[in-house]
């Protein structure tokens, strides 16, 4: 572990056959006017994009590439990138996520203005500028999941007990909002907070590790917040298009791990059985849906 450099922001980007969008992500990070470094962690990519990024920015000492011999998962790769990062603020940026002008300055400004914030998210938008789902979320408890899947969460404005995982539209007059969880596409943390909570839980391979981190940051006494005015562009799923079933399986395993770690209902055998059955039934439906779409594409190319 290195002593953090005050005023330096370390952007950790994990690549795993992430495709040509990786170049945009790295380029947007290095284009910042703030003092930055980029730690690109390669999870054994074979698409040549990591080498292309390294060649493009070969003269820029702010880019460092850390190569793993195998795909060790997103959270473990983030931890290894953070371990060699030098900044006093660490930003975890998806390889298909593009920063906008002054994003880094904005993130640092919010963190400097409120020492109670331990993890800061932003408004993540699709390429058309539409805010993505999951920018601000509640912890995914069994009760909330049932409210969401049953449709009862639509009535939460009248009966708050029916609240689901997704939150209603953000208030327009609030610039910085404390929430339970934010999107993992772009998350900024003071280095001292990241170290204090032990980084990402490496028991997750891909997906849900962001929710876990948000939960542990809050449990440790800091706030999780979203800066509504700060926006980044995210073309979701660039790494998962080549291996959709692989990604889907790990996402559902992550949901199961989160439930067992944090949900009070996990202490009940009937609840564990219900959740396990529901998660893997949902996985099976997802596999079936993808197989049907693949078959339809072959019939109607």
pLDDT of amino acid 216: 98
Instruction: Specify the pLDDT at position 63.
Output: 97
Does residue 107 sit within a domain? yes
In whole angstroms, what is the distance from residue 20 CA to residue 195 CA? 32
Q: For the chain, what is the domain count?
A: 3
Which of 186, 209, 234 is a domain's end point?
234
The torsion of the CA quartet 78, 241, 95, 224, rounded to 10 degrees, works out to: -60
Question: Which residue has better confidence, 241 or 148?
Answer: 148
- As a whole-number percent, the residues of the chain with pLDDT over 90 amount to 72
Query: Residue 292: what pLDDT?
Result: 82
Residues 175 and 272 in one domain: no
Do 81 and 31 sit in the same domain of this protein? yes
Residues 258 and 161 grouped into a single domain: no
Task: Kindly state whether residue 45 falls inside one of the protein's structural domains.
Answer: yes
Residue 224 included in any domain: yes
Q: Is the pTM of this model over 0.75?
A: yes
Asked if 99 and 147 sit in the same domain, the reply is no
Q: What range does the domain containing 162 cover?
A: 141-166
Neighbours of 279 (CB within 10 A): 18
Output the pLDDT for position 290. 82
pLDDT tier at 84, thresholds 50, 70, 90: very high
Nearest 10 degrees: Cα torsion 113, 114, 118, 122: -60
In a domain, residue 34? The reply is yes
User: Coil, helix or strand for 31?
Assistant: coil
67/126 same-domain check: yes
Residue 261 maps to a domain: yes
Span 213-261, pLDDT tens digits: 999 999 999 999 999 999 999 986 555 566 788 889 999 999 999 999 9
Same domain, 130 and 47: yes
Instruction: Please identify, among 151, 166, 181, the residue that sits at the C-terminal boundary of a domain.
Output: 166
What is the β-pairing status of strands 223-234 and 117-125? Answer: parallel
Helix (H, G, I), strand (E, B) or coil at 245: helix
State whether 81 and 26 are in the same domain.
yes
Q: What is the predicted pLDDT for the residue at 2? A: 64
| Distance between CA atoms of residues 56 and 60, nearest Å | 9
SS3 286: helix
CA distance 75 to 213: 10
Is there a single domain that holds both residue 76 and residue 58? Answer: yes
- pLDDT tens-digit map of 173-193: 889 999 999 999 999 999 999
CB 232 within 8 A of CB 125: yes
Distance of alpha carbon 275 from alpha carbon 95, whole angstroms: 31
Within-domain flag for 278: yes
CA 221 – CA 37 distance, rounded (Å): 28
- Beta-bridge mates of residue 59: none
- The mean pLDDT value of the chain amounts to 92
Does residue 239 sit within a domain?
Answer: no
Residues 84 and 225 in one domain: yes
Q: Both 34 and 156 in a single domain? A: no
pLDDT reported for residue 300: 75
My answer on whether 219 and 158 are in the same domain is no
- Examine the domain organization and report whether 195 and 290 are in the same domain: no
What is the b/e burial string over 73-90, where b = at least 16 CB atoms within 10 angstroms of the residue's CB?
bbbbbbbbbbeebbbbbb
- What pLDDT score was predicted for residue 94? 96
Read off the CATH number of the domain in which 14 is found.
3.90.550.10
Residue 19 lies in a domain: yes
The three-state secondary structure class of 90 is strand
Given 214, 234, 254, which residue is the final one in a domain?
234
Output the pLDDT for position 213: 98
Q: 199 versus 289: which is more confidently predicted?
A: 199
Please state, for a pLDDT cut of 70, what percent of the chain lies above it: 97
């Amino acid at each position: 572990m290195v002593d953090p450099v005050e005023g330096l922001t370390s952007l950790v980007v994990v690549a795993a056959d992430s495709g040509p969008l990786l170049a945009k992500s790295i380029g947007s990070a290095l284009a910042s006017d703030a003092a930055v470094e980029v730690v690109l962690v390669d999870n054994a990519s074979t698409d040549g994009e990591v080498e292309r990024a390294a060649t493009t920015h070969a003269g820029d000492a702010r880019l460092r590439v850390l190569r793993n011999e195998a795909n060790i998962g997103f959270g473990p790769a983030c931890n290894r990138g953070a371990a060699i990062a030098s900044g006093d603020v660490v930003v975890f940026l998806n390889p298909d996520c593009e920063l906008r002008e002054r994003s880094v300055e904005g993130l640092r400004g919010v963190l400097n203005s409120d020492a109670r914030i331990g993890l800061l998210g932003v408004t993540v938008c699709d390429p058309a500028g539409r805010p993505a789902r999951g920018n601000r979320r509640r912890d995914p408890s069994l009760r909330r999941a049932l409210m969401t899947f049953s449709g009862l969460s639509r009535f939460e404005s009248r009966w708050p007990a029916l609240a689901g995982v997704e939150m209603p539209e953000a208030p327009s007059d609030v610039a910085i909002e404390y929430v339970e969880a934010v999107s993992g596409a772009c998350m900024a943390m003071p280095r001292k907070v990241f170290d204090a909570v032990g980084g990402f839980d490496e028991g997750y391979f891909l997906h849900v590790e962001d929710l876990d981190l948000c939960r542990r940051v809050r449990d440790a006494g800091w706030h999780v917040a979203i800066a509504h005015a700060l926006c980044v562009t995210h073309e979701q799923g660039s790494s998962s298009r080549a291996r959709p079933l692989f990604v889907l399986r790990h996402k559902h395993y992550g949901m199961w791990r989160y439930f067992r770690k944090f949900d009070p209902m996990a202490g009940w055998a009937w609840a564990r059985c219900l959740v396990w059955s529901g998660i893997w039934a949902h996985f099976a439906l997802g596999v079936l849906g993808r197989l049907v779409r693949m078959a339809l594409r072959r019939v109607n190319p």
